[in-house]
């Protein structure tokens, strides 16, 4: 049985490698391979539904990211406590890598007609485990996204969030690569139009472990986790979207 499980893991990795050859994190690519809980067809349907969001009128902020951003719907009370009265477009799609997000805001046209005061960007965690990309390559992918945002939305401020910690324990295998990626991502900020905020330490305990009440699966946030995110981001966000 153990041999079968190992072989299944190896087969999964091989299928992913065949499904996405030569996809660099800084190049736009739509989702073409099915992933657990989110098929390529479902991804395209989500993208098309986001294109139907209202494109005119006042907009305080756009949220760009993966399932962690999309998951704000699971914490409505937290959202109302911190962002009631704000006009927001949530463009998060579960499973997205930098490549997928980059495609959505370029060829996919998801930014077309939008003019937010601020864009909050959180992406990269799926590049770590789904693609095993290096910290440097992930930072290059996020840099490519930021360049598109700056070109497409020249009047909008961009807030890049550091990749959140993942893995239940302080010595989880991906933790060091997340730290390295965030150090590289931080260099994208210019203190004017582009800002960087790393709130990873807010989620972990004193010894660096991730409490289950904050991230039940050591990746995705609980309502308590979203409250931590909102509280940490609120002061910076207020400064960015003030009249």
Residue 23: per-residue pLDDT: 84
pLDDT tens readout for residues 156-187: 999 999 999 999 999 999 999 999 999 999 99
Residue 22: per-residue pLDDT: 67
The domain that holds 117 is classified in CATH as 3.40.50.1110
| Residue closest to 162 by CA, chosen among 94, 236, 104 | 236
Number of domains in the chain: 1
CA angle 220, 122, 118 (to 5 degrees): 130
pLDDT tens readout for residues 186-212: 999 999 999 999 999 999 999 999 999
Are the C-beta atoms of residues 101 and 64 closer than 8 Å to each other?
yes
- Structural domain boundaries enclosing 230: 2-241
Residue 17: per-residue pLDDT: 40
Mean pLDDT, each 10-residue run in order, the chain (243 residues): 38 40 86 82 96 88 98 96 94 97 98 96 95 96 98 97 98 97 98 97 98 98 99 95 79
């Amino acid at each position: 049985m153990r041999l079968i499980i190992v072989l299944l893991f190896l087969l999964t990795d091989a299928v992913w490698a065949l499904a996405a050859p030569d996809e660099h994190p800084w190049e736009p690519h739509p989702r073409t391979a099915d992933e657990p809980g989110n098929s390529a067809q479902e991804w395209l349907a989500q993208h098309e539904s986001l294109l139907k969001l209202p494109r005119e009128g006042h907009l305080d902020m756009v949220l760009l990211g993966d399932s962690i951003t999309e998951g704000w719907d699971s914490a409505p009370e937290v959202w109302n406590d911190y962002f009631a009265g704000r006009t927001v477009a949530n463009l998060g799609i579960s499973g997205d890598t930098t490549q997928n997000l980059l495609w959505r805001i370029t060829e996919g046209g998801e930014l077309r007609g939008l003019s937010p005061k601020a864009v909050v960007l959180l992406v990269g965690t799926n590049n770590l485990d789904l693609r095993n990309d290096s910290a440097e390559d992930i930072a290059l992918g996020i840099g490519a996204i930021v360049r598109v945002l700056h070109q497409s939305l020249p009047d909008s401020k961009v807030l890049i969030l550091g990749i959140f910690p993942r893995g239940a324990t302080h010595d989880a295998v991906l933790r060091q690569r997340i730290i390295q990626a965030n150090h590289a991502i931080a260099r994208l900020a210019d203190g004017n139009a582009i800002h960087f905020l790393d709130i990873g330490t807010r989620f972990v305990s004193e010894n660096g472990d991730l409490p289950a009440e904050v991230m039940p699966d050591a990746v995705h946030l609980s309502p308590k986790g979203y409250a931590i995110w909102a509280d940490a981001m609120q002061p910076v966000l207020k400064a960015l979207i003030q009249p």
